[in-house]
Amino acid sequence: MMGESGSGTAGVPPEVVSFLSGKGGRSLIVKGGAGTGKTTFGLELLERIGQPNRSFYLSTRVGDEALYRQFPWLKTAEMRSRVLDAAKLFLDAIQSGTKGRQSELPESEQRKIRAGKEVLGSFGQERGPPTRVDRTHLVALLKRSPMPEVENVYNRIEKALPEKSLLVIDSLEGVTHKYGLEMEEFVMALQKDLVEGSNTAVVMILEKPEAGGIEYLVDGLISIQREELDERRVRHLRLEKLRATNIGQARYAVTLAGGRFAALGFSMAPNGKANDDRWAPMPDPDRFYSTGIPTFDELLGGGFRRGSFNAFEVDVNVGVDDYYMLFVPTFLNFLAQGRGIIAVLAAGESPDKLRETLIRHVPATQFDTRVRIADYSAAETEDPFILPMARGGRDDAARAMVMAEKTASGPDRKPFMEYMAFDTFESLMGDQVAIRMYFQGISRTKHVGNLGIGLLKPGLLVSSEVLNMMDSYFRIINIDNAPCIYGIRPRTMIYAISVDASKGSPHAVLTPVV
């Protein structure tokens, strides 16, 4: 069956995989404006879902050599065999004559055949797997104009029968304009001959953003749009119709990074599971602390600068698990190198859950002895990692924090991480007191060379004052169920945050959204 390629289907929405790989033929129209990534999407389907010797890409807009220049990954012998240049197919057909063309039946005989099929269908009788490609509608079109490249495709699909083939046509306008056909009649021919009659999945790419009324002829419709978000480019893939397929998510953010099409916002981790391996620390470059994420280090020019405080503004529709994909690798990288952490968690974050997450990859004793989580609602606790801050006055709280800093530094007085949710202080002390505390804490962090990470939630009164103190400022947002990050200071493009598919959680990767 299609969809069992060794390269997997990562990057193609699971709904599309299910639709095209389902039993029987399927037809799909992909529409969108210029530059939205339709060609890249079609080629990705060819590799991710199609199979060798029964998946074909008929290109009418651009020759195969131009495709290979734009998409170098197509140059493998296997992928080259799937790309059919319409111009070359036309020349090949002229040189070989018309051998192999099905003899044209009189219209009266064709009507009898069609009527017989309809009668059998009305009785609910299912035919066995097809062994010949139905050419009834193609023959009718060939009476008006020879189409050698289309006939060539029919022949190739017939050779693959009874196995299911995948055909990608790029573009519908390219074929119909060339032969003076109405788009509706050509789509109908493909639908009847190949999809319904020959067990073929046919993907038809439109060069324009509107289908012009032919949507009702096909089984599926996908649109790809492009928009600007905070002066940064974002593409969306919308599943408008996929017949007999459950659509769990109707829209996906997509990227064309590296000349490949990838939908974002669904898990691509191996087997969908996290790993429980010990964290192997990434070395810290000179004057930097590694984030624990190689692609994030690269974005930052080496990592977080030593003695810096870095703000992350988290949008309202971004969950804790989403932004923890970004922060957990940094926590682990600190702990695995014998450094400590002092944390003031945000509403919705759980000390127990954080501990449970981290001790899967570092020893529990390491967490309990080097991590201190301030709890301003607790007067006492049995957990060694909890720092109860409600058992005395302000002086008692200050002394407790000094002791926590010594614990996080350890006997070797190493620098530590300060993870601070600014909404907690503002809700407890008010914005003016909180701002004074922030100024003192941030100044100390920079002076002693610690790493500061500050979390900002929407609606905070202190945001503007805090951001003025920060060395860097990032926003974490949700685009079509995909957590993403982009830099305000320094300015960066948008990157999707996801689990590293080759290693599994908690390893993460940033993918540019282009």
What the chain holds in terms of domains, given with CATH numbers, is 14-104+130-263 (3.40.50.300), 274-512 (3.40.50.300)
pLDDT in tens, 372-407: 998 877 777 788 898 887 776 666 667 777 787 888
- How large is the average pLDDT for residues 422-433? 61
What average pLDDT does this structure show over 300-318? Answer: 94
How many whole angstroms separate alpha carbon 96 and alpha carbon 135? 20
Are the CB atoms for 306 and 449 separated by under 8 Å? yes
Let me know: does 211 contact 223? Beta carbons within 8 Å.
Answer: no
Element (H, E) at 372: strand 371-375
Query: 171: burial class by Cβ within 10 Å (0-12, 13-18, 19+)?
Result: buried
Residue 84: per-residue pLDDT: 56
Of 120-124, 199-203, 233-237, 459-463, the range with the lowest mean pLDDT is 120-124
**Mean pLDDT, residues 237-244:** 95
Distance CA 456, CA 454 (A): 7
**Is 80 exceeded by the pLDDT of residue 72?**
no
CA distances from 333 to 287, 415, 442, 466, 507 (A): 16, 13, 22, 26, 11
- Residue written as tokens 């131009």? 66
**C-alpha to C-alpha distance for 66 and 102, rounded to whole angstroms:** 33
3-state DSSP assignment of residue 71: coil
Q: How far is it, in rounded angstroms, from Cα 509 to Cα 498?
A: 6
- 141-192 pLDDT per residue, tens: 999 889 998 999 999 999 999 999 999 998 899 999 999 999 999 999 999 9
Kindly report which listed range (19-28, 123-132, 158-167) carries the lowest average pLDDT score: 123-132
* Token couple for 108: 């009266």
Cis-peptide into 130, omega within 30 deg: no
76-118 pLDDT per residue, tens: 655 555 565 555 554 454 445 444 444 455 555 555 555 555 5
Q: What is the pLDDT of residues 351-379, one digit of tens each?
A: 999 999 999 999 999 999 999 998 877 77
- What percentage of residues in the chain have a pLDDT greater than 90? 53
Does pTM top 0.85 for this prediction?
A: no
What is the helix, strand, coil percentage profile of the chain, to 5? 40, 20, 40
pLDDT tens digits, one per residue of 444-482: 777 778 999 999 887 766 567 778 788 999 999 999 999
Nearest Cα to Cα of residue 462 among 502, 426, 420:
426
* Identity at 254, one-letter amino acid code: V
Q: What's the whole-number mean pLDDT along residues 490-501? A: 94
* Overall average pLDDT of the 289-307 stretch: 96
Which residue's structure tokens are 């990470």?
453
- Look at residues 4, 60, 28 and name the one whose alpha carbon lies nearest to residue 178: 60
- Read off the pLDDT of each residue in 14-31 and give the average, rounded to a whole number: 94
Mean pLDDT of the residues in the chain: 83
Label residues 61-78 b or e (16+ Cβ within 10 Å = b): ebebeebeeebeebeeee
DSSP state of 283: P
Question: CA-CA distances (angstroms) from residue 212 to 146, 206, 303?
Answer: 25, 10, 50
The pLDDT tens digits for 266-276 are 754 444 455 77
Torsion of CA 381, 386, 392, 396, to 10 degrees: 140
